[in-house]
Amino acid sequence: MCRATLLGCFVAIALLAPGRAHAQAKIVVKKDVVYGKVHGAALLADVAYPEGMGPFPVILSVHGGRWVASHRNDPGEGAIDVEKWAALGFFAMTIDYRLVGCSAPPACYQDVQCAIRWVHAHADKYPIDKDRLFLIGMSAGGHLVSLAATLGDGPFARTGGWEKSSNDIRGVISLSGPYDLEELSWGTLW
């Protein structure tokens, strides 16, 4: 993936951030936050936000990896550094999702939807502006965030928790996402 493209998207999102300087604020970082549970297993995320202010727009990162590999902290697969985004004035969240090969599709997509609902359900606990919720993903993550923008829940059951919460988003940034799929056969394209 071209770093210039990623930088361009970074600048575009940074322009959406509030006009206050957050670089001076202490950044709160929370690792291994459980954003959902499926069959007794935790779905994990890392979050970060400037302390003592808010509410902040949300940037939720979905990593790539062909739906079968990678993790929430892999910058090579498009995962964001939540601390850096928080310093720009965002509530930043990067998630792991169930990978194809371990869980049948559409589990990975259901997990993305669960993360979106978690954000809405926790707007009172964290400094979240749930009306400014943006998703960013690269490769398989780009596909998943594009589905969120166009499909919503689709025909899939809500799993993981927060079933009564909203899954509304404001927009997505999809980098190198595969879109021209004849069918949703995650993980079998290559």
Give the domain range for residue 79: 3-17+27-175
CATH number for 107:
3.40.50.1820
In a domain, 63, yes or no: yes
In a domain, 185, yes or no: no
Do 61 and 141 contact (CB within 8 A), yes or no? Answer: yes
Per residue in 19-76, pLDDT tens?
A: 454 557 899 999 999 999 999 999 999 999 999 889 999 999 999 998 999 999 999 9
In a domain, 45, yes or no: yes
Asked if residue 11 has pLDDT above 60, the reply is no
In a domain, 103, yes or no: yes
Q: What residues contact 69, with CB distance under 8 A and at least 6 apart?
A: 77, 99
* Comparison of pLDDT for 100 and 172, the residue scoring more: 172
Compute the average pLDDT of residues 1-15: 48
Compute the average pLDDT of residues 109-121: 98
Give the count of domains, the chain. Answer: 1
pTM for the model: 0.86
For the chain, percent of residues with pLDDT exceeding 70: 83
Per residue in 164-184, pLDDT tens?
A: 999 999 999 999 888 877 665
Start-to-end CA distance of the chain, whole Å, equals 17
SS3 8: helix
pLDDT score, position 7: 44
Distance of CA 86 to the CA centre of its chain: 14
In a domain, 182, yes or no: no
In a domain, 48, yes or no: yes
Mean pLDDT of the chain: 87
Per residue in 129-140, pLDDT tens?
A: 999 999 999 999
In a domain, 131, yes or no: yes
Alpha helix positions (H), 53-179: 82-87, 107-121, 140-151
Compute the average pLDDT of residues 113-126: 98
pLDDT score, position 61: 98
Compute the average pLDDT of residues 79-87: 97
In a domain, 146, yes or no: yes
